[in-house]
Amino acid sequence: MLDILYRDDHLIAIHKPSGLLVHRSPIAAQDERFAVQLLRDQIGQRVYPAHRLDRGTSGVLLFALDQATAGIIGKQFEAQQVGKRYLAIVRGHPPVQGIIDHPLRRKLDPVEYNRGIGHGGRDTRLPEDDDIDPESGTLAEGAAGLPARTRFRTLAHAELPYPVDRYPSSRYALVALAPETGRRHQLRRHLKHLSHPIIGDATYGKGRHNRLFQTLFNSHRLLLACVGLRLTHPHSAQPIIIDCPISPDFANVINQLGWSCHVNTLSMSFDS
């Protein structure tokens, strides 16, 4: 049973666990459980995802209960009118706060890549390096990428007496994130760009740090969670804020790092 965070006649939001796909995908053809299917079966009606969360990310996942509402909510997300708050555990000690203003190239998933999107440079570039020109829809060598901005605030630090890389100890931080744009893998790529990758990220992170967290804390997930959404109700025009508690597997790592005292300040205010 999925944990329902919010529900009315038009919208429903759940707490998606880490490891659950939003919907069926050829990328993971062997998977048989998806948020769309599980929620549909749970409430007995069709649901329409309003946005995406990566498979490894937990937290607030919003659905519309009819196509008209889905269209309105989709436009809010496209127009960057939905506030999003995330929490992550990252490598190192980032600045107290700041803005990551770093354009991102259009990232293709393997299905898009195999279908020939961006065809013309596939022989010399890896799929994750593909860049689509937003006007022509073709591969654009050397393009600067699409605008992408993320606000962040560092909430807590820890230093563990375990040597990783060339240092005698390892530093980590708890970070609140507020993406102002919605590029694919934006938070994960922005934190990598900042040289503070998210722990548990097999694509953009560091394997040695990921393995340390597996050994010390039995953590085998991406330590990234969507802890809140703010939007305007598509029919009443009233503001809605949907908060999500930290999942037990994420909270376990927070507690073992001695950050439980920060539990009331984990998320970044929408107004900050």
Lowest mean pLDDT among 17-31, 71-85, 108-122, 200-214: 108-122
pLDDT at position 269 is 55
Active-site annotation holder among 54, 131, 201, 249: 54
pLDDT at 137 over 50: no
pLDDT of residue 29: 53
CA-to-CA separations, 77 to 30, 71, 72, 208, 230, in angstroms, rounded: 30, 10, 9, 36, 11
The pTM of this model reads 0.85
CA dist., res. 259 & res. 160, Å (int)? 13
* pLDDT grade for 167, boundaries at 50, 70 and 90: confident
Can you say whether residue 195 is alpha, beta or left, with left for phi > 0 and alpha for psi between -120 and 50 degrees?
Answer: left
Residue 130 clears pLDDT 50, i.e. is over it? no
54 has catalytic annotation: yes
